[in-house]
Amino acid sequence: MPKYYEDKEEDGRACSGVREDLRQCLLESPCVLQENKSPKQCLREGHCRSLQVTFFACKRSMVSVVCLLLLARMF
């Protein structure tokens, strides 16, 4: 369940809710807290994988929409 709520500051970037959830997940992971590794390193090791996949899918869907809009303008 996402932890992103409407009372948080508006980000304005695409997929900001999932981005925030991924960030929080990494910062609260045992990899960062107990092993003192960087969030980037923990992400590479596969922590918070489901949120990483969700974030990637969200970003990819944004690219698809942009491509469709560009194609529509061409014809």
Per-residue pLDDT at 60? 84
Per-residue pLDDT at 43? 95
pLDDT tens for the chain, residues 1 to 75: 455 555 556 677 778 889 999 999 999 999 999 999 999 999 999 999 999 999 999 988 877 777 777 777 776
Per-residue pLDDT at 27? 95
For the chain, give the secondary structure using H, E and C: CCCCCCCCCCCCCCCHHHHHHHHHHHHCCHHHHCCCCCHHHHHHCCCCHHHHHHHHHHHHHHHHHHHHHHHHHHC
